[in-house]
Structure 1
């Protein structure tokens, strides 16, 4: 697969940027009126972020067809890389050492499902590097947010009169999940049929102690609309029996969708039946434990970007990794190679190259404890290096985010905000895009970020 470098912004988006800046100066009332209409329509449609308003911005991010195709090809190819990585984890001790938090669960994680791709639902988060290539900075192969609501939000956005896009030919419906918001549920049903060879009758959306409830209502209701008896269950309420996994009413559960943080579940004794049932494939689990733990861990990018493991990938895949996976290493004492393939002592390198690096907990979510070197004092950086060396952390090359002007509803103002583009992939195929924008250098809707609809011109 040959992919040329592409610009991170289209001419249509540049026009939107100019128009927003002009209207913000001369007619801001018209923009806020349209934003309020959009926010009301989103709320009336029932979209929310764990009970709070779903933060969809009037300003879209416009990309051209060339960029859309580039992102599609990249995302779909990365999913195939993850299949190779999962198989490597099962047989390579050096790979297993990159994921120390899951050592005691290895006997469950290494039971891989027969279907490919292993990752049925995921969201790849990315930024554009200085070389023009899209860089995957997180894989999100556990249970990413936005799988239903972002497609719905795009459709609602497209119906609102928008002074920012007047005269532009922009289309959200080229994205499968915007054209048909039921495509996520259809993927769950299809995944079950592929694994079991029969029609799905019962399913559970599973969380733990009420955490991560975003979109659960949409998923449950979507399955019910598809003719499946579906419910929301806590992992502690399910039992593994000779018949299979059953809920509190004793009914057999055929498929589970994991809407939880694996870090919580793997340490909980009341979750053991559930862990065993998913591992033994007594129930079809979306996604399986290798996806929930290993492939979603940020150390997966250390596996992909380290030359020690390159012999396990073909030439096309090596080229893909070089373009689209940023240099990443698990933080620990020892010798490795830097982004230019020079041998280095890693801890010393991290100390000396603060402005070019980011430290991240390898398996945390929502931007927890992420430290951007160039925005961090030397004292705090030193303290964080010590913490990182004692805990599962990764260090990653810093990718500067792009900037857009956007409406910031909480402050009722226009702000320059950092943005990225994320790719949703269902069943190995691109389902759609989202763009998150934030005043915070760590972009996350859970950290007061906003969502920019992606429109293709």
Structure 2
């Protein structure tokens, strides 16, 4: 595959720079210091971050026109991830290529009652520098963070703007604001299995004593909707008849908030525990979100490279390959015979010669620890990383330069710093529900590595059909039979 040739260069940029400039000027020019107001609003707000970071009162402001033009491709890509999971089941060569191991294979095989889909996904991406074209860098398809806290950040920043007298942007349909979007999807998963009794019993899975704050807050938010929700340790799973229990709590559906790196350590080494899980998946009236095919296959960085690999080209249609070329930077697993994008130069040689062009990725990682950025790594360390990647068949991905955006820092000098930002798509139940963003001056944009989150507000809601419903409306029903809970 080469370039997309899809006309994206002719689209308006994603960022609404006039609106962003107006908001920034209003925040800086308001009478009186901004810091006391920001501290007051943050102090009165519910928790919104798993780790402490400064909050910029300036949202990343994006155009609904461009968002709406981009959303269909993003949704098609998530559907493609589901099809790749099906291919994994059906194509022995692909199972060998992923080499997930017996525990993972057993869990995926047992989870056949669930459709091959990524029910809840956060696609981390950049707006490419110079074009603002969306480039998807990773599939967070195991236990993505931010489904609750991103909505809270958006509402918090809206409050600051209102209180500061700034000209508020008009929130578009794709601005996250609902605290129960995930709950709607969990209940819909029950409905599609014929297990929705009208009184769902929900577990959010976290290791005992190591729960992150968003998971704790999620359980509280679900309970405020009248749902029986608990925080549970996945090691406590047991089965009585067709009912799954975690400790003393019967559970119909779980949101497995244990990331794949931790899951492999926590569960896979315990054969009895894997056996209990496989039996529950295969025989109980119990829905596990995300399905294990998503958690292991779609989540893997190997999947970023799969559609580019000529050995598997016949598994994909021309339209699917064009979609990948439109959204993803070139990627390839290292190994014998692997070549650079020119199709001729050995990939390992090109990596050593041009480190500024590439990023190396482990198949699973947490908080960016498995990502090595060539242009931010010393020559010796980079050569060692390339050698290791060759031995373990890791993924090389073309580097994408992110767009910079002003981040406001009240009472600091300078008060405005332009930082590279991410543009992350939340896709729930196959539909884009909104976006999040991270900003940092570090090579890896991660809040656990010195970064911070930004609110993302979408302007001009007059255009575009948007997703299934406007999340700010207190609707009690959504299309396609998806249950919807009041805020």
Q: How many angstroms apart in 1 are the aligned matches of 2:411 and 2:389? A: 34
Cα 1:116–1:431 change in 2 (3 A) is: farther
Which residue does 1:419 correspond to in 2? 421
What is the alpha-carbon distance in structure 2 between the residues aligned to residue 379 and residue 420 of structure 1?
29
Equivalent positions of 1:318-329 (< 5 A) are 318-329=321-332
Match of 1:259 among 257, 260, 280: 257
Distance 1:194 1:316 in 2: 29
Output the CA distance in 1 between the equivalents of 2:345 and 2:91. Answer: 24
Q: Is the 8 A contact 1:359 1:394 kept in 2?
A: yes
- Tell me which moved more, 63-72 or 294-303: 63-72
Shift of 1:230: 1.3
- Of 225-234 and 287-296, deviating more is 225-234
Displacement after TM superposition at 1:431 (Å): 0.8
Q: TM-score, normalization: structure 2?
A: 0.82
**Residues 402, 421 of structure 2: 8 Å contact kept:** yes
For residue 363 of structure 1, what is the aligned residue in structure 2?
364
Alignment match, 2:158:
158
Provide the secondary structure at the position in 2 that maps to 1:366: coil
Cα offset, 1:211, TM superposition: 3.8
Q: Which residue of 2 aligns with 1:441?
A: 443
Shift in Å, 1:433: 0.6
Q: How does 1:12-411 map to 2 (within 5 A)?
A: 12-14=16-18, 16-17=20-21, 20=24, 33-34=33-34, 36-50=36-50, 52-53=51-52, 55-113=54-112, 116=115, 118-129=117-128, 133-161=133-161, 166-167=166-167, 170-175=169-174, 177-178=176-177, 180-199=178-197, 200-211=199-210, 213-249=212-248, 251-266=249-264, 267-269=268-270, 271-272=273-274, 275-277=277-279, 279-280=281-282, 282=284, 283-331=286-334, 333-340=335-342, 342-391=343-392, 393-408=394-409
Pairwise CA distance, 1:54: 6.2
Contact 1:237/1:247 (CA < 8 Å) preserved in 2? Answer: yes
Change in 2 beyond 3 A, CA 1:230/1:20: closer
The 8 Å contact of residues 172 and 456 in structure 1, kept in 2 or not, is answered as yes
Q: Structure 1 residue 28: deviation in Å?
A: 9.2
Deviation of the 1:171 alpha carbon: 2.4
Instruction: Tell me if structure 2 keeps the 8 A contact 1:42–1:153.
Output: no
Residues 356, 375 of structure 2: 8 Å contact kept: yes
Alignment partners' CA distance in 2, 1:164 and 1:97 = 57
Contact 2:126 2:423 in 1 (8 A): yes
CA shift, 1:241, in A, is 3.8
Q: Which of structures 1 and 2 has the larger relative contact order (alpha carbons within 8 angstroms, sep 6+)?
A: 2
8 Å CA contact retained: 2:49, 2:149: no
**Secondary structure at 2:250's aligned position in 1?**
coil
| Matched pairs, number | 446
C-alpha distance in 1 between matches for 2:299 and 2:326: 20
* Secondary structure of the structure 2 residue equivalent to 1:215: helix
CA distance in 1, matches of 2:170, 2:147: 19
Q: Aligned pair in 2 of structure 1 residues 163, 226: CA closer, same or farther (>3 Å)?
A: closer
Q: Give the C-alpha shift of residue 91 in structure 1.
A: 2.1
Report the 3-state secondary structure (helix = DSSP H, G, I; strand = E; otherwise coil) of the residue aligned with 1:191.
helix
Helix, strand or coil for the counterpart of 2:140?
coil
8 Å Cα contact 1:71/1:423 also seen in 2? no
Shift of 1:219: 1.9
Helix, strand or coil at the partner of 1:139: strand
CA RMSD of aligned residues (A): 3.0
Query: What is the rounded CA distance, in whole Å, between the counterparts of 1:204 and 1:69 in structure 2?
Result: 34
Q: Distance in 2 between the 1:77 and 1:365 partners?
A: 26
Residue 345 to residue 28, structure 1, CA distance change in 2 (3 Å):
farther
TM-score normalised by the chain length of structure 1? 0.87
How far is the alpha carbon of 1:113 from its aligned partner?
4.1
Q: Quick one: distance in 2 between partners of 1:387 and 1:107?
A: 28
**Matched-pair contact (CA < 8 Å) for 1:43–1:54:** no
2: CA distance between counterparts of 1:397 and 1:230? 42
> Which residue in the other structure is 2:463 paired with?
none
